[in-house]
Structure formats: structure tokens, C-alpha cells
Structure 1
Amino acid sequence: MRDMTELKKSVNDGGVQYIWIGLKRTSVNKWQWSSGEPALYLNWKPGQPDGRDECAYMRNGQWEDTPCSNSLTFICSSSNMNTGLVFVNQTKNWTDAQSFCRQTHSDLVSVRNQNENQQVQKFINDNHISNDVWIWIGLFRDPWQWSDQSNSSFRDWAPGEPNNGGGNENCTVIKPNAQGQWHDIPCHSQYPFVCHEDKLILIRENLTWPEAMRYCRQNYTDLVSVHSVEMQEEVMNAVKRASTEAVWLGLHNFCSMNMWIWLSGEVVCYQNWAPGNGTTPENCSLEKRKGAVQSGGDQRWISRPETHKLNFICSRS
């Protein structure tokens, strides 16, 4: 929704009927989790899915498909590590259940392996929920794919959309005068459109930290500074394509004061250090230390000698 808010600000033109966005119907209609992850583990009841429906529920430890318009209770995953799962004893359709979980907890629950399936079933048993109750999980399928091939499962269709009127409405527009919600229309129609420019650019060259800084300043703005969870999420998305085990950030150690500072000039407030990094004094007599982000694992920040040669991330602004 943050993206939608920014998009609506940029297209606030009352004279435009429709504006293209990068969502298109494809021939691939595979199951995926609400979180955007592909569904690699599947625990369907024998005979399921029957191929007709687009959303999944759990009953007695197994999954079945059913129309997304049905009203069922559901389980949210929680960002609170103490609770983990939350059973919502209200009936909603799948899309409304997804929105409720995202607004109040984290997302509809993902069940990515047998262990998680057992954990969810144990949660149901521990909460004395009947095994006959149909409970939404975060599994759905649709044929819509973003043009940048991202796994985002966010959808903001207008009521009754997508309706595939005429059988050939395979591309997506927003209506600026109708809360900016989405409609499917034929791809051959001609309307204005919005292009996306990445704020962050992963450079898959192996350079030392000073070389990477010079490259970014000559070609973009600077090595990236990470001041928030939102920016860290963008960095995490960028480093997935890296060819080195870590990627330089615009983070350097100010030895004389034992402080880490961003190239933007700001002291590090938001922190995402890996254990044993960034919190103990660096031995500056040996070599200068700079900050990088791990390209694998949980993608935390690490301290590295500036002479190491790594990929790096430049920012455009």
C-alpha cells in the first residue's frame, strides 16, 4: 500500500481515465504463499486441488481448494515472536482475511514444510479448534505476474475485478478517480503509463570500498545509506542477485571516536548488525574497516577490511 500511495501521488491527474501498471495475466497459474514465496511443499488432501478454485484452506491437517469468495475463519502469522500464530474467529473471504492479517499482524500463515504444517495443526489442537472447521491459510494461485518478475503477491483490485470481460482483459490499469484501484482491460488499448526506476543499483563488479565509493559517486549518487527497516528491505531485495558473499554499503568506521557513520554524514541509529559485528571497538592500527551486508542468510551487516573486493550498492538519491 505504501507503493500505491506513492503511485497515486505521482498520477494525480483528473483528466486521465486509466494508467497502465506492470501487472499482466500469464499462462502460468501456480500456487504461491501470500508472502510472495513459491509453494514448494504441498499437503493436499487426496483428490485436491480439483483445479477449479484459487484459494486454500486447512482442515484436519490437510489442505483443500475452494473459491476465494467463501467466508472462513483464518490464521495469521504474527511478528510477535512470543505468539507466532493468531487464530481469528471471524469469517472473511480470503482477500479480506489477507488484508486483516497484514494490517493487524504480519500476513496469512505460510506452511512451507512438514514441520510448519505440524506446528499449525498443533496450534489448532491447543486452541481447541474443531478439526472440522475450515481455516484459511495464505496459499493462493493467480496467473498475474509483474513485468519485473518480482514475487510480490500484493493485489489491489477494484470490487468485481479482475472480470476478464470479453475474455481478453490481460493487462492492468489503475483508475486515478476511483481510489486508484486496479482494473483488467485489453492490452492493445492505449493509455499513459508509469515507469519504475530502482532507487538502488547492485553493481556486480568486485571493487574495494574506496573504489566502490568512487564508482557510485561518478555514476549515480553514492554508496547506499540504510536508515530504516524499509531501506533495509530494499537492500535485501537487491543483494539477492549478488555474486559475492557480502556487498559494500556506505558505512565506515570513524576510528578516533569508535563510531560507525554513513557516507550521508549520519550516525548509525537503525542497526542490523550480525552478532559480533559493529558493537565492539575495531583495531584501526591494522586496517580500516567498512560495512557490508551479507548477500545470503539473514542479510545482516558485517565489518570487513576496506581492501576486500566485493559487489556494492549505489543509490540514485
Structure 2
Amino acid sequence: MIIRTTIFFCSIGVAFTALIDQVRFRGTWLKYYDGQQDYTTYAGAMIGCQKRGGWLAMPKDKNFNDAVANVAQGRRAYIGGTDILGEGRFEWNDGDTVEWANWYSGEPNNGGNNEDCMDINIDVKGKWNDRPCEFLLGYVCQIPDNKALASKTRKFTVYSGRNATSYFKAKDFCVKRRSRLALLGNNEHLQETMAGIDDPNLTEYWVTLREDVTACSTVSDFGLSTANCFQPLPLVCEQVAPYGLEISKEEATLEVGSDFRIDCTASGVPVPQVKWYRDGAYVPH
């Protein structure tokens, strides 16, 4: 189900249009920002989304990509993927490898050996391009519809002592424990994380930031900072209980003996498993 709203700003004098359009898709708000206030670099786009409680849109399949392209009204806009950590190896900002792709013909081409960031709607609606990260563009954010509820379902676990390790090994350490390195997106998350760490000998811990691409981030009583990525430090892992559940509301045409499909998506860390039941009996297909 897609609910679309278009917001118009009207004022006397100079217009500073920011939010151009928004659409709710799969339990997430896709919001397109452009204009004098939000025409920015890739780093500025990441920070802009982070400040709004989300992250740059990551269209990992065709339907999500179509929704992002539409909310951007066919205009070029930044999306959340780069190959800044390894030329030709594009990753989404949440660390996932870009598997499904929708590149424009001949892209990515790393023109001028300086194109590490991704935008959408290059000449053809929905097609991707790689471009210099300092180029000024609008951008599309994806913001969880139930962000407030999500913040109340996070469980933090501190690993210190012999578990102290480097930043990158810390990320793998958490993943192997079906969690993730504690994710801080804004000051609200910072305060929540610090409150969730039950450690009287509070020190410096590895965490991760949405807008981080190359920096290795830490948190302590003094707030957020960075450290040598290979320095052994304690770490904070977190799990997020399922907080988003959406079942497709399309009205399928049912015929006896024929198949039909109902989609269900749920969010959380680790990714929750979804099972279907009919009249109390498990439905395997």
C-alpha cells in the first residue's frame, strides 16, 4: 500500500523549499529533499537524513527502487550507496553489499577516477549512476514509520576485557552473536545508548554511526569521538526487537485450486522469521 502526500510551501519573498514529496512504502517514509536548503553533497545528504531519524534511501529491490524514483519525481537524487571503501565494490550505508542493481548503461564508470557515490534517475527514471561525492544534489531519505517505538526495544550488551578488539573485528563479533555494533544516529540515540550501558567502569567503546563511511567511532562519558581503527577497545552490541510489521493489503483474486501471494515484512536485529498460520495450523507454503 502506498500513501502519497505532497507538501507545498508558500511564503512572501524567497522560497526555501526543502521537503518536496513523501510517500509511505513498506512501513517506511520515503522523503525527497531538494531546493536551496537541501541541495548538498553526499556527506550533507547522509547527515540530513540522520538528523531526521533515518538514512539515505537504499533501494535493494525493484519495487523499492520504483518508489524511490517516483518520490524523487524523476529528478536526480542521492541514494545511500558508495564504493569509497573499494573501487567497484558498492555497499549500502548499512553495510550490505549491493546485490540487486539498476545501473544506467555504461555505469558505474568511475569517471575521472573520482565517482564513488550513487544517485538515481540518471537520464532514465529509476536508473543509477556513480558520481563525485562533492556534487550538489537533492536526496531521498528512508525514515522508519515507527521510529519512536523502535527506540524502546533495543537491548545493549557490553563486551570488554579479553573481548576488546579492533573496530572492524568488533562489527564481525556482534554479527556472529546475531546482533550489530550499537548504532547511534543522533543525540537521542547517544543518550539512550549511554543509559543502556550498565558498566560502573565506563570507558571508551566501539559503536557505529549511520553517517560514518571511513571513521571508526567510539562513545564514552565525553560523547562521540573517533579512534585508531586497529586499537583494541571494548564494544557495545545491540539487538532490536521486531518493531515493524506490515502485511500487504492488495485484494487478490482467489480461485479454487490456484495460488495467491501475501507479503509480510518485519524489521529488527537479527532479522525476525515470519511464519504463517491458518486456523491455528502452520502453513508451510
TM-score by length of 2: 0.38
TM-score by length of 1: 0.35
Larger Rg: 1
